[in-house]
């Protein structure tokens, strides 16, 4: 169950801050599937957003799908893409992927469920082993929602009412002793993040910064690095990794992190160039459509003028046939 809200967002280049505006509040939704259905049946008006700091106005760049109950943005989609098309194109929006790129993304997303199932047990084993190596720290990364999900799925009810994450952690340290028990806890606690975030939300729209805030940078980084993905989605993995790379890296992995950051930055630059070219193309198409409309109107006016000029001539000629002229 979630409280679904949709925001539009843009980046103010003058203030270097994001400005958001609530577009629609759907209220309580029972499931993500119901939310998906509602969003698919609703056209949202696109209007300029005013920056609260400097007062400048510009068109929104992203649509944010937000759960107000958890204060969590679970999806962030660029406006003007195939996932969030703009009807009319008056704001200069345009698709930013080529048909080949979109087809590749669609193939990867279509394969993802089957591909993950093939690697599922191996993935969970590696993920759990990684957590075991830093167990006390890993328990601190779990948020209240994850603790509640895990305890409910494990059928545990003999715990104080409404415990905090620290209370859950203290109980877990006493309750889960064997590796098997710890593995079950870790898997159930992470089930929402894996199945309803990373596998449900299309990878190109992962709100990585939001994931870091809710689930911790180290855990999110490991998952982006190691989540089983079809080959068609690998470039999106690199792009998302660039967002979570620590500002300062050291040791033997620093060169690798730097290379990932370079590749991610290059992908971002290419996308921005593509977006700029797409906007220019959209503007040129709009200008061409305007000129064609003007030409069409001029043609109609020319035809009208032709008719106005030819009508009297025809009457004179007809008059000549009715009368004989003598010299």
- pLDDT band at residue 326 under the 50/70/90 scheme: very low
3-state secondary structure of 19: strand
Q: Is 211 in the same domain as 153?
A: yes
**In the prediction, which pLDDT does 193 show?**
95
Angle value at C-alpha 53, between 27 and 209, nearest 5 degrees: 55
DSSP state letter for 205: G
* Residue 317 belongs to some domain of the structure: no
* CA–CA dist 207, 204 (Å, integer): 9
Q: Do 114 and 250 fall within a single domain?
A: yes
Q: Which of 42-51, 70-79, 146-155, 278-287 has the lowest mean pLDDT?
A: 278-287
In a domain, 27, yes or no: yes
The answer to whether 140 and 169 are in contact (CB under 8 A) is yes
Within-domain flag for 306: no
Task: Answer yes or no: do 156 and 221 share one domain.
Answer: yes
Query: What percentage of the chain exceeds 70 in pLDDT?
Result: 73
- Better pLDDT: 281 or 112: 112
H helices present in 133-178, as ranges: 135-141, 144-153, 165-175
**Is residue 108 predicted with pLDDT exceeding 90?**
yes
Is 11 a member of any domain?
yes
Instruction: List the alpha helices (DSSP H) in 76-207.
Output: 99-132, 135-141, 144-153, 165-175, 179-189, 191-193
* Sign of CA pseudo-dihedral 264, 102, 67, 158: negative
Structural domain contains residue 307 = no
- The two structure tokens encoding residue 50: 């005013």
Q: Regarding predicted confidence, which is higher, 172 or 312? A: 172
Kindly report the length of the chain. 327
Using alpha carbons only, give the angle 212, 133, 122 rounded to the nearest 5 degrees: 80
For residues 96 and 82, what is the distance between their CA atoms, to the nearest angstrom?
A: 8
What element of type H or E holds 307? Answer: helix 254-322
One domain for residues 30 and 107: no
Same structural domain, 106 and 233: yes
pLDDT at 300 exceeding the cut of 50: yes
Regarding whether 112 and 175 lie in a shared domain, the answer is: yes
Residues spanned by the domain of 158: 99-271
Q: Is the pLDDT of residue 327 over 70?
A: no
Q: Identify which of 238, 229, 235 has the alpha carbon closest to the alpha carbon of residue 261.
A: 238
Residue 28's pLDDT band, with cuts at 50, 70 and 90, is confident
Report residue 142 as tokens: 């779990």
pLDDT at 192 over 90: yes
DSSP letter assigned to residue 92? -
User: Which pLDDT score, from 0 to 100, does residue 318 have?
Assistant: 44
Helix (H) or strand (E) holding 73: strand 72-78
What integer is the mean pLDDT of 17-33?
A: 84
For the segment 77-85, the average pLDDT, to the nearest whole number, is 74
What pLDDT is stored for residue 73 in this prediction? 86
Residue 39 lies in a domain: yes
Nearest to 268 by CA among 69, 93, 91, 78: 78
Angle between helix 254-322 and helix 234-244 axes, rounded to 10 deg: 120
The answer to whether residue 149 is domain-embedded is yes
Beta bridge partners of 19: 10
- pTM as predicted: 0.60
Q: How many domains, in total, are found in the chain?
A: 2
What confidence tier does 323 reach under pLDDT thresholds 50, 70, 90?
A: very low
* Beta strands 49-50; 62-67: pairing state: unpaired
CB-based contact 281:94 (threshold 8 Å): yes
- 113 close to 199: Cβ distance less than 8 angstroms: yes
Task: Return the half-sphere exposure (C-beta side, CA atoms, 13 A cut-off) of residue 270.
Answer: 12
Are residues 238 and 115 part of one domain?
Answer: yes
Whether 129 and 261 share a structural domain: yes
Contacts of 173 (CB under 8 A, 6+ apart): 136, 139
How confident is the model at residue 223, as a pLDDT? 95
**Res 128 pLDDT > 80:** yes
Cβ atoms within 10 Å of 45's Cβ, excluding its own: 7
The pLDDT assigned to 95 comes to 47
Of 227, 252, 271, the residue that ends a domain is 271
Residue 89 lies in a domain: no
- Could you tell me if 69 and 117 lie in one domain? no
My answer on whether 252 and 191 are in the same domain is: yes
Q: Structure tokens of 38?
A: 């509602």
């Amino acid at each position: 169950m979630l409280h679904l809200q949709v925001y539009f967002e843009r980046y103010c280049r003058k203030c270097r801050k994001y400005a958001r505006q609530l577009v629609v509040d759907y209220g309580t939704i029972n499931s993500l599937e119901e939310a998906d259905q509602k969003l698919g049946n609703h056209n949202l008006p696109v209007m300029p957003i005013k920056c609260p700091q400097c007062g400048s106005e510009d068109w929104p760049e992203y649509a944010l799908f937000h759960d107000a109950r958890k204060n969590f943005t679970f999806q962030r989609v660029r406006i003007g893409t195939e996932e969030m098309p703009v009807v009319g194109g008056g704001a200069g929006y345009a698709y930013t992927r080529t048909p080949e790129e979109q087809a590749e993304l669609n193939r990867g997303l279509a394969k993802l469920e089957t591909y993950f199932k093939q690697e599922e047990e191996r993935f969970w084993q590696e993920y759990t082993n990684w957590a075991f190596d830093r167990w006390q720290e890993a328990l601190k990364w779990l948020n209240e929602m994850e603790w509640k999900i895990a305890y409910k799925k494990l059928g545990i009810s003999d715990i104080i009412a409404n415990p905090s994450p620290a209370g859950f952690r203290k109980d877990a340290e006493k309750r889960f002793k064997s590796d098997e028990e710890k593995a079950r806890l870790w898997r159930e606690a992470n089930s929402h993040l894996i199945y309803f975030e990373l596998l449900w939300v299309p990878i190109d729209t992962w709100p990585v910064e939001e994931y870091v805030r809710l689930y911790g940078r180290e855990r999110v980084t490991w998952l982006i690095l190691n989540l089983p993905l079809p080959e068609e989605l690998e470039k999106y993995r690199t792009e998302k990794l660039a967002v979570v790379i620590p500002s300062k890296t050291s040791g033997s992995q620093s060169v690798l992190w730097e290379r990932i950051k370079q590749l991610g930055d290059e992908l971002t630059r290419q996308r921005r160039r593509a977006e700029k070219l797409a906007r220019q193309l959209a503007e040129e198409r709009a200008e061409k459509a305007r000129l064609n409309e003007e030409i069409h109107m001029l043609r109609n006016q020319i035809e009208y003028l032709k008719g106005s000029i030819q009508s009297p001539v025809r009457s004179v000629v007809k008059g000549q046939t009715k009368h004989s002229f003598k010299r």
